């Protein structure tokens, strides 16, 4: 049964209500937002102050909002529930809507899976007659919610077209995700067993089905070059990977190809030096042409680390330092999500320290949203990272400004 606009809203099946009075069923005459979210999800956390505002703004129009925490991560359900409760107390002590906790997967199955909804945050709006009026992202609610409240949304051509497109797109994405997961499982199993030949075979089977899946292309090159050290097969694969990345003019592809050649964690002594540096030069030049250092914007935090490593190994240390500093500066603007900043900043700071021959340390400045009672707070790093009296070693210090609320990182890319 597909859950879409005009479907009857599924039942509410949560294990515990951590905030607000328990809700067992949707009451006629009221409009509900059912928000699927998690504490580790940066966009979810960033959306919460706005949800607080919507609840306050429309409470007299019959709006009730409930957040469903169905994706918390901990060894046990009890630990997840306890951690969630503490997080809510710390971050949103005066929350004005219900929070339900579910670790059974029941709510996910009834709502998310049946509507082909992939990823969180996802908002479901239940109309006054208990039917689904909208499924989408919370940032769309500003436009949709007033129309749901006045009863004009579900009958509109805009709503019908949006729901049809969402359902068709979600169905395709879910089928592709399932196919990719099925192809990935034997690869991961072989890699866990360190059976590299079997892993290569599994990757090649996956590429026969999904030849343009970047993860499979990167794993293929990595296994051949760095695990099996098979230059006869691996070099042609790497050449084609680099060529395809350049032909696509895709910075993410080019960064992944360059990383296979200049990841400082890899021992590339067995890779023919002239060819490695030739590919590195071409990839680096294309990345810098696509996203020049002097131009604002662009994911410099993503690709410039690999480009800098190429220049450092090429003997141009000053250029490497310049590019890492540009990448770190790009993390000081609001566009990248906080989890990307927390993921990319430490290796960039470490690379800068390595290039300068200094010791790496960090100072993070979290600029929290001031809405919903958030206050600005500074975290100055731990004592081990601060320069002590009498310690004459230099320290590469990066001050990274994080926009949005603090969160716990969960990168499953």
pLDDT for res 345:
84
Whether residue 373 has pLDDT greater than 70: no
Question: Model confidence at 339, in pLDDT bands (50, 70, 90)?
Answer: low
H or E element in which residue 134 lies: strand 132-136
- Say how far apart CA 26 and CA 5 lie, in whole Å: 16
Torsion angle of the four alpha carbons 379, 75, 48, 64, in this order, in degrees rounded to the nearest 10: -150
Query: Hey, how many other C-beta atoms are within 10 angstroms of the C-beta on 165?
Result: 10
Give the whole-number percent of the chain exceeding pLDDT 70: 85
- Long-range (24+ apart) CB contacts under 8 A made by 297-300 are 297/335, 298/251, 298/330, 299/251, 299/252, 299/330, 299/336, 300/326, 300/327, 300/330
Torsion angle of the four alpha carbons 370, 375, 376, 381, in this order, in degrees rounded to the nearest 10: -140
Of the listed ranges 247-251, 304-308, 324-328, 372-376, the least confidently predicted one is: 372-376
Residue among 142, 106, 112 at smallest CA distance from 124:
112
Question: Model confidence at 372, in pLDDT bands (50, 70, 90)?
Answer: very low
Residue among 174, 239, 184 at smallest CA distance from 207:
184
pLDDT for res 359:
78
Which residue bears the tokens 């100055």?
380
Whether residue 385 has pLDDT greater than 60: no
Please tell me the pTM assigned to this model.
0.68
Cβ-Cβ contacts under 8 Å for 128 (sequence gap 6 or more)? 28, 29, 30, 31, 62, 151
Question: Model confidence at 355, in pLDDT bands (50, 70, 90)?
Answer: very high
> In b/e form, how buried is each residue of 339-353, taking b as 16+ CB within 10 angstroms?
bbbbbbbeebbbbbb
Residue among 70, 140, 128, 132 at smallest CA distance from 99:
70
Question: How many contiguous H segments (helices) and E segments (strands) does the chain have?
Answer: 13, 9
Give the whole-number percent of the chain exceeding pLDDT 90: 75
Strands 98-101 and 359-367 come out as unpaired
Of the listed ranges 19-23, 211-215, 361-365, the least confidently predicted one is: 361-365
Cβ-Cβ contacts under 8 Å for 161 (sequence gap 6 or more)? none
Of the listed ranges 9-13, 98-102, 287-291, 299-303, the least confidently predicted one is: 299-303
pLDDT for res 94:
87
Which residue bears the tokens 């949203």?
369
| Tokens read off for 47 | 């959306």
Asked if residues 213 and 187 have their Cβ atoms less than 8 Å apart, the reply is no
The mean pLDDT value of the chain amounts to 85
pLDDT for res 340:
60
Question: Model confidence at 324, in pLDDT bands (50, 70, 90)?
Answer: very high
Whether residue 42 has pLDDT greater than 90: no
pLDDT for res 334:
52
H or E element in which residue 54 lies: helix 42-58
pLDDT for res 343:
72
Q: Would you call 16 helix, strand, or coil by DSSP?
A: strand
Q: Would you call 321 helix, strand, or coil by DSSP?
A: helix
| Tokens read off for 87 | 């997080």
| Tokens read off for 252 | 């993410």
Asked if residues 126 and 132 have their Cβ atoms less than 8 Å apart, the reply is yes
Query: Hey, how many other C-beta atoms are within 10 angstroms of the C-beta on 160?
Result: 13
Q: DSSP letter string over 64-105? A: EEEEEE----SSSHHHHHHHHHHHHHHH-TT--SEEEE--SS
The residues facing 233 across adjacent strands are none
Asked if the peptide bond before residue 121 counts as cis, ω within 30 degrees of 0, the response is yes
Q: Would you call 195 helix, strand, or coil by DSSP?
A: coil
């Amino acid at each position: 049964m597909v859950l879409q606009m005009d479907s009857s809203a599924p039942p509410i099946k949560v294990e515990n209500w951590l905030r607000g009075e328990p809700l067992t069923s949707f009451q006629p005459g009221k409009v509900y937002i059912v928000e699927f979210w998690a504490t580790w999800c940066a966009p979810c956390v960033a959306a919460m102050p706005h949800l607080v505002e919507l609840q306050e703004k429309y409470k007299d129009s019959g709006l009730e909002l409930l957040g469903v925490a169905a994706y918390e991560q901990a060894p046990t359900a009890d630990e997840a529930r306890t951690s969630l409760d503490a997080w809510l107390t710390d971050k949103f002590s005066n929350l004005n809507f219900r929070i339900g906790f579910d670790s059974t997967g029941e709510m996910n199955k009834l709502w998310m899976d049946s509507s082909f909804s992939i990823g969180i945050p996802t908002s479901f709006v239940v109309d006054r007659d208990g039917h689904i009026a909208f499924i989408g992202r919370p940032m769309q609610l500003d436009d949709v919610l007033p129309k749901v409240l006045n009863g004009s949304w579900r009958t509109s051509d805009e709503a019908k077209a949006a729901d049809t497109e969402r359902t068709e797109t979600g169905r395709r994405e879910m089928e592709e995700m399932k196919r990719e997961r099925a192809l990935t499982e034997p690869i991961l199993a072989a890699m866990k067993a360190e059976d590299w030949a079997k892993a290569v075979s599994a990757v090649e089977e996956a590429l026969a089905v999904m030849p343009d899946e970047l993860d499979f292309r990167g794993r293929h090159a990595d296994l051949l070059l760095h695990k099996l050290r098979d230059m006869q097969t691996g070099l042609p694969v790497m050449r084609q990977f680099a060529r395809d990345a350049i032909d696509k003019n895709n910075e993410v592809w080019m960064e992944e190809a360059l990383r296979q050649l200049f990841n400082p964690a890899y021992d590339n002594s067995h890779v023919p030096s002239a060819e490695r540096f030739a590919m590195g030069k071409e990839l680096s030049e294309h990345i810098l042409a696509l996203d020049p250092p002097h131009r604002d914007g662009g994911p410099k935090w993503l690709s410039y680390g690999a480009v800098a490593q190429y220049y450092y190994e090429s003997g141009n240390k000053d250029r490497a330092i310049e590019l890492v500093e540009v990448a770190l500066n790009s993390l000081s603007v609001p566009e990248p999500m906080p989890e990307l900043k927390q993921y990319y900043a430490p290796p960039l700071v470490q690379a800068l320290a390595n290039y300068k021959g200094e010791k790496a340390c960090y100072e993070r400045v979290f600029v929290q949203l001031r809405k919903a009672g958030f206050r600005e707070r500074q975290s100055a790093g731990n004592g081990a990272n601060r320069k002590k009296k009498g310690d004459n070693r230099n320290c590469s210090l990066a001050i990274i400004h994080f926009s949005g609320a603090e969160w716990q990182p969960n990168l499953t890319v």
